A = this chain, B = another copy of it.
Amino acid sequence: MCGLIFGPILAALVGMDQPSGQSRVVIESVCPEIDSGRFAIKRLLRDSVTVEADIFADGHDLIAAEVLYRPAREDAWQRQPMRPLGNDRWRGEFPASEIGLYHYTVEGWIDRFGTWRSNMIKRIDAGQDVDMDCLIGAGLLADAALGATPQDAARLRAWARALSDEASREDGKRIVLGDDLAAIAARYPDRRFATRYERELFLVVDRERAGFSSWYELFPRSCSPEPGGQGTLQDCAARLPYIVAMGFDILYLPPIHPIGRTARKGKNNAVAARPEDVGSPWAIGSDEGGHTSIDPKLGTIVDFERLIAMAKEHEIEVALDLAFQCSPDHPYVRQHPEWFRKRPDGTIQYAENPPKKYQDIIPFDFETPHWRELWEELKRVVLFWIAHGVRIFRVDNPHTKALPFWEWLIGEVKSEHPDVILLAEAFTRPKLMYRLAKIGFSQSYTFFTWRNTRQELTSYFRELTETGLREFFRPNLWPNTPDILSEFLQVGGRAAFMIRLILAATLGANYGIYGPAFELCENAPLEQGSEEYLNSEKYELKQWDLSSPQSLKNLIARINRIRRESPALHREANLRFHETDNPAVICYSKATDDRSDILIVLCNLDAFHTQSGWVNLDVASLGLDVSHGFQAHDLLGDGRYLWHGSHNYFELTPESLPAHIMKVRQWVRTERDFDYYF
């Protein structure tokens, strides 16, 4: 029956596995859905997944709908009811009760019984004769009884008899108007002509740490207790108590593999290295091995396994760096020259972004005809480290490798190891960053690093938390990295480090710092106008004075404790901004869905001056009772303020503490005249 030209459009309809001609319900605008279902949404274990859709049919019949969901390893759908929100919009929820991939979709059908009952009620109200309708209802109930449990079937049949028998019809009418009948009949809907939404959608459920994590980046080779000594993985293990005391739960190590000799960079990225220069850990590969080897100067695979084991004892996880590139000395270059691009003179093309050249780095050629073998080898690298106990990876510059590769790799790895977490280090154009998140990266570095003003922070975080991005892009906020010492940190002194730390740790559920440079407020740039560190640890061994009185380690520990103890800080989607009359001060809140935890953050963005003013709280969004005051307890400075309504005064001094992180406690008078705080 397909039309000649319009056939293709119709095909989508007729191809559906249902009696399309009789299926009158339409399902549209299912949300969340990313790029027509091409990509999975992301949730965390134990989240409730909310699904909405436009569901309607021709005419006046009532409809019913359910959200269908199943872990991908199961064939059978589970179902949860959807309820109408008005304007043909429906909503349902299902629990994310295990990690891994889920499928979900929506089904709707004409609610034959509900329509009949609703019409019956209208007719009875209008005083119309309903004899015929009683008989129709009796038929519907008899049909429902066929699929019912024996107990329900008996009741349905009894009601059907009451409706069909003229003598008991008045009883029947009363039954119709009661709720018992509606509840039991609704259990046995007539779904013969149900419409299933035309796509199955995907959900990736990750473990909690994929969405709530505190990262600490550390160069193991700088961990030696001896001044100027070569640090090792053992030294790194000895540093664990220090890191854990600050409250971090992920320790991220730059690459730990052998470092190339050819074209090695010297101190401060000098083109020519001196013999004693240690080179950049990202120039991976030498005669001593490649991506599955450990730099002998750092130790052995046994040392690495010990580090993993000790980290486990300290309840911190070790994250490795996946930097898929080679030094000219990498074994791949000899063994698989076909994975690299050749120049007309037969040499292998090094990395460049003209006119810049990176002679110590050779990129893979993802257009090689041997791409399948390359992909498999890189997967083997990841599985190697997984076999050695690693479950978290920070991925270096993923935006310079082919996107289809990442989608395949992450799919492969997570299908066997759904607990793996991957952080994308892509500081690049927004759409490319977002695509990486769509194709599977668990977390992403962000532009937070360069967003300093209230307007910049507000608009950026509204984009991240209030748009469709929240379905798949999990921001991870870094005030600094070994590549980025921002201008704000360079010039703002210790206060600037406090401000950026507090913002990162409270705006984002995931954040990280590159230490000890961060907690020691290291702020000397390579040169004016550069974001590179002077004497960067990327090219030399460093010795850090961890006991410096400058250190922010105690503040960090306090902030990480507040984060752990405040469920409101474990997500981003609950972020709400509030107005202040002083543009140097930003105010935002986070609250749990049930309002059992409400935090208000006020942060002075000016590292140089005390700033004061009035905040205009959106108290309705916080669920506060405006007729009562509330206590704002600053968990950071431990001050307690009595606030009332939306307008409240603040004053923040950058050199002491530039911010409040205030827990809201409202004194509520209950029905039983019992006063309590929540």
Q: Is A126 an interface residue (CB 8 A)?
A: yes
Q: Is A128 an interface residue (CB 8 A)?
A: yes
Do A202 and B4 touch across chains, with their CB atoms under 8 A apart? no
Which of A73, A354, A431 has the largest number of chain B CB atoms within 10 A? A354
Q: Which of A169-177, A365-373, A577-585, A635-643 contacts B (4 or more CB under 8 A)?
A: A365-373
A472: shortest Cβ distance to chain B, in Å? 12
CB within 8 Å for A73 and B38 given contacts A20-B404, A122-B354, A126-B355 = no
Which of A9, A56, A429 has the largest number of chain B CB atoms within 10 A? A9
Residues 373-416 (chain A) with a chain B CB within 8 angstroms? 375-376, 399-405, 407-408, 410-412, 414-416
A342: shortest Cβ distance to chain B, in Å? 10
Which residues of the partner chain B approach A450 to less than 8 Å between Cβ atoms? none
Within 8 Å by CB of A139, from B20, B101, B344, lies: B344
Which residues of the partner chain B approach A3 to less than 8 Å between Cβ atoms? 408, 411-412, 414-416
Q: Determine the distance from Cα of A414 to Cα of B60 in the docked complex, in whole angstroms.
A: 29
Do A415 and B6 touch across chains, with their CB atoms under 8 A apart? yes
Residues 1-34 (chain A) with a chain B CB within 8 angstroms? 1, 3-10, 12-13, 20-24, 26, 28-29
Q: Is A36 an interface residue (CB 8 A)?
A: yes
Which residues of the partner chain B approach A54 to less than 8 Å between Cβ atoms? 431
Do A431 and B400 touch across chains, with their CB atoms under 8 A apart? no
Q: Determine the distance from Cα of A522 to Cα of B7 in the docked complex, in whole angstroms.
A: 47
Within 8 Å by CB of A414, from B6, B39, B372, B407, lies: B6
Q: Determine the distance from Cα of A71 to Cα of B198 in the docked complex, in whole angstroms.
A: 26
Q: Is A313 an interface residue (CB 8 A)?
A: no
Q: Is A87 an interface residue (CB 8 A)?
A: yes
Which residues of the partner chain B approach A35 to less than 8 Å between Cβ atoms? 28-29
Q: Determine the distance from Cα of A103 to Cα of B9 in the docked complex, in whole angstroms.
A: 10
Which residues of the partner chain B approach A202 to less than 8 Å between Cβ atoms? 8-9
Taking A6-B414, A56-B431, A126-B354 as given, write out 18 further A-B residue pairs in contact, using a Cβ cutoff of 8 Å, ordered by the A residue number. Answer: A3-B412, A3-B416, A6-B411, A9-B40, A9-B202, A9-B411, A10-B411, A13-B404, A21-B372, A22-B366, A24-B404, A26-B403, A56-B435, A58-B400, A88-B429, A88-B431, A132-B345, A135-B344
Q: Determine the distance from Cα of A9 to Cα of B35 in the docked complex, in whole angstroms.
A: 12
Which residues of the partner chain B approach A354 to less than 8 Å between Cβ atoms? 118-119, 122-123, 126
A27: shortest Cβ distance to chain B, in Å? 10
Q: Is A544 an interface residue (CB 8 A)?
A: no
Which residues of the partner chain B approach A9 to less than 8 Å between Cβ atoms? 38-40, 101, 202, 407, 411
Do B58 and A402 touch across chains, with their CB atoms under 8 A apart? yes
Q: Determine the distance from Cα of A512 to Cα of B8 in the docked complex, in whole angstroms.
A: 34
The 9 closest A-B pairs by CB, nearest first: A6-B411, A36-B36, A3-B415, A126-B355, A135-B344, A5-B415, A119-B354, A21-B371, A3-B411
Q: Determine the distance from Cα of A404 to Cα of B135 in the docked complex, in whole angstroms.
A: 30
Q: Determine the distance from Cα of A237 to Cα of B113 in the docked complex, in whole angstroms.
A: 51
CB within 8 Å for A1 and B412 given contacts A375-B21, A431-B54 = yes
Which residues of the partner chain B approach A416 to less than 8 Å between Cβ atoms? 3-4
Which residues of the partner chain B approach A430 to less than 8 Å between Cβ atoms? 87
Do B355 and A122 touch across chains, with their CB atoms under 8 A apart? yes
Q: Is A524 an interface residue (CB 8 A)?
A: no
Interface size in chain A (residues, C-beta < 8 A): 89
Which of A37, A57, A404 has the largest number of chain B CB atoms within 10 A? A404
Q: Is A549 an interface residue (CB 8 A)?
A: no
Find the B residue at minimum CB distance from A59.
B400
A378: shortest Cβ distance to chain B, in Å? 12
Which residues of the partner chain B approach A7 to less than 8 Å between Cβ atoms? 411, 415
Q: Is A136 an interface residue (CB 8 A)?
A: yes
Contact flags (1/0) for A410-426 with B, using CB distance below 8 Å? 11101110100000000
Q: Is A548 an interface residue (CB 8 A)?
A: no
Which residues of the partner chain B approach A72 to less than 8 Å between Cβ atoms? 5-6, 8
Q: Determine the distance from Cα of A172 to Cα of B12 in the docked complex, in whole angstroms.
A: 54
Q: Is A189 an interface residue (CB 8 A)?
A: no
Do A21 and B411 touch across chains, with their CB atoms under 8 A apart? no
Which residues of the partner chain B approach A118 to less than 8 Å between Cβ atoms? 354
Find the B residue at minimum CB distance from A134.
B344
Do B58 and A403 touch across chains, with their CB atoms under 8 A apart? yes
Do A88 and B367 touch across chains, with their CB atoms under 8 A apart? no
Do B122 and A88 touch across chains, with their CB atoms under 8 A apart? no
Do A24 and B429 touch across chains, with their CB atoms under 8 A apart? no
A203: shortest Cβ distance to chain B, in Å? 11
Which residues of the partner chain B approach A151 to less than 8 Å between Cβ atoms? none
Q: Determine the distance from Cα of A109 to Cα of B101 in the docked complex, in whole angstroms.
A: 32
Do A88 and B432 touch across chains, with their CB atoms under 8 A apart? yes
Do B101 and A403 touch across chains, with their CB atoms under 8 A apart? no
Which residues of the partner chain B approach A57 to less than 8 Å between Cβ atoms? 403
Find the B residue at minimum CB distance from A35.
B28
Q: Is A143 an interface residue (CB 8 A)?
A: no
Do B4 and A59 touch across chains, with their CB atoms under 8 A apart? no
Do B73 and A5 touch across chains, with their CB atoms under 8 A apart? yes
Which residues of the partner chain B approach A467 to less than 8 Å between Cβ atoms? none
Which of A38, A103, A198, A345 has the largest number of chain B CB atoms within 10 A? A38
Q: Is A152 an interface residue (CB 8 A)?
A: no
Do A12 and B38 touch across chains, with their CB atoms under 8 A apart? yes
Q: Is A672 an interface residue (CB 8 A)?
A: no
Within 8 Å by CB of A26, from B23, B193, B415, B435, lies: B435
Which residues of the partner chain B approach A435 to less than 8 Å between Cβ atoms? 26, 28, 56
Within 8 Å by CB of A366, from B24, B375, B407, lies: B24
CB within 8 Å for A408 and B1 given contacts A87-B431, A432-B88 = yes
